[in-house]
Amino acid sequence: MKETETKSKIYIVVRTSFIAFHRWREAPPEFDYLRNWHRHNFYVEMKVEESDNREIEFNALKDELNEFLRGYENKYLDMSCEDIALELAKRFYPSRKKIISIFEDNENGVEIET
């Protein structure tokens, strides 16, 4: 590798979604309606750092992620998007760098990097 070249970071990426209800108990007064249960289609994107010789098969990761998220499907979650993303970060490849995005109805959301 030339001195001027930089090594690229490689991530495998999976996307999926699930439907659930949640609320934000501590919502500020101007958004107090968010304290009530409301339904969202949560869109999830997970990027996991990988080597140039893929060690994690993205189809297997997506299957594993979908299996885990079935536990959230159509449930009432006292969790924010941040909470969901952090839970996924702990559950999947905790020793690898990850970027996890959770979007409500594929519009607004959060992204965490671990």
Report pLDDT for 109: 97
Question: What are the mean pLDDT values of the chain's consecutive 10-residue runs (114 residues total)?
Answer: 68 97 94 96 97 88 98 95 96 96 98 97
Report pLDDT for 51: 82
Report pLDDT for 4: 54
pTM: 0.88
For residue 20, the one-letter residue type is A
What element of type H or E holds 23? none
CATH architecture of 10-113: 2-Layer Sandwich (3.30)
Report pLDDT for 52: 78
CB within 8 A of 98, min separation 6: which ones?
46, 47, 48, 49, 89, 92, 113, 114
Going from N- to C-terminal start, the domains of the chain cover 10-113
